[in-house]
Amino acid sequence: MHLVTFQSGELAVPGAIVEDEILHVEKAAGLLDVVGLPTSLKLILEQGETALDLVRRLIDKALGSAAHRMREEGALVARASARLSAPIPDTSFILCGGANYRQHLQEMKVEVPHQPLSFVKNATSVIGDGAPIVLPPSNPGMVDWEGEFSAVIGRPCHRVNAADALDYVAGYTLINDVSARDWVAPVFDAPGIMGPIYAWERNILGKQFPTFCPMGPVLVTRDEIRDPDNVDITTTVNGEVMQSANTSDLIFNVADMIAYYSQFYRLCPGDVITTGSPAGVGYGRTPQKFLKAGDVVSVHATGVGALTNPVV
């Protein structure tokens, strides 16, 4: 299934892609007397396979005998006219992997880490497909893109091993880890013992601005991406390819990251784990290239689709 959150009037509601339409899950459930479905995608994930199976039933009905009635009652709407939010706009935890693609480490001149590296991204920076990335007035000049293949947790997990880790994944989405690079430059030349710590903090702060976490366009359930270690991902700016990679280049894959970080965190449904940025960021280019007002940045991954955002 391709699950979404989209705007219905003033509300952000859960939905599912049905060919070229979006199923309004709550309205469809009401029409067909299906009870027990929560009112957000995060809550659906919390209820697990029982709730997901109810959504599958509604999709089957929307593809069959109930389609006409659903359209008449507004439970099926044209995808082209729908405004998507982030799939999990109310996520409470975004764990962003770093230094995790071999080719990206080469362009950034960073050594291969011995264990996964990450930071927590501010959930209030999340926006959906089509929403604008806003250049911060304080740091507008070196804003960079980082298209990242990301996993969404579907079951609570703590201290799981890598062999079982994917069993705790609900599905996959995309995140653009937008970064103000004038905050990251000191990472590479900070002196002394405290210098690298101070520089790393600045690096993290440069990723926290409002709108700096586009997410979407959909959450693709795990059954549709059987091998997350073989997914093509590209990032374009104004149609020009900037990043092009395959998740086989990851140092630590989705399962590795879940296994490692679940030692420390109790991961919950709706939590998001990104796998890090491939090579091709603007900061690593010669000459360097950054986003400016009027640009359009798009992250695409096989099976997930394209997450596209204008820059203002």
pLDDT tens for 31-83 read: 999 888 999 999 999 999 999 999 999 999 999 989 999 999 999 999 999 99
Q: Which of 81, 89, 90, 32 is nearest to 56 (CA)?
A: 32
- Whole-number pLDDT of residue 184: 60
pTM (two decimals): 0.94
Instruction: Specify the CATH number for 94-310; select among 3.90.1010.10, 3.40.50.261, 3.90.850.10, 3.40.50.2300.
Output: 3.90.850.10
Per-domain boundaries in the chain: 2-81, 94-310
Pairing mode, strands 147-153 and 179-180: unpaired
Q: Residue 194: its pLDDT value, please?
A: 54
**Dist CA 105 CA 276 (whole Å):** 11
CA end-to-end span of the chain: 33
Q: DSSP string covering 31-83, please?
A: HTT-----SSHHHHHHHTHHHHHHHHHHHHHHTTTTHHHHHHTTSEEEGGG--
Omega within 30 of 0 (cis) for the link into 217: yes
Read off the pLDDT of residues 203-241 as tens digits, 9 standing for 90 and up: 788 999 999 999 999 999 999 999 999 999 999 999 999
More confident residue, 111 or 117: 117
pLDDT at residue 112, as a whole number: 85
Please say if the pLDDT value at position 243 is more than 80: yes
Q: Please report the pLDDT score of residue 84 as a whole number.
A: 97
| The pairing of beta strand 213-221 with beta strand 126-127 | parallel
C-beta of residue 62 within 8 angstroms of C-beta of residue 18: yes
For residue range 258-312, list pLDDT tens digits in order. Answer: 999 999 999 999 999 999 999 999 998 999 999 999 999 999 999 999 999 999 9
pLDDT of 195 > 70? The answer is: no
Give the largest Cα separation in the chain, rounded. Answer: 69
Q: pLDDT (tens digit, 9 = 90+) per residue, 124-172?
A: 999 999 999 999 999 999 999 999 999 999 999 999 999 999 999 999 9
Measured CA to CA, the distance from residue 23 to residue 3 in angstroms comes to: 9
Q: H helices of the chain, where?
A: 25-31, 41-47, 49-62, 67-72, 102-108, 162-165, 194-205, 254-261
Is 145 in contact with 118 (CB distance < 8 Å)? no
Alpha-carbon gap, residue 228 to 232, rounded angstroms: 10
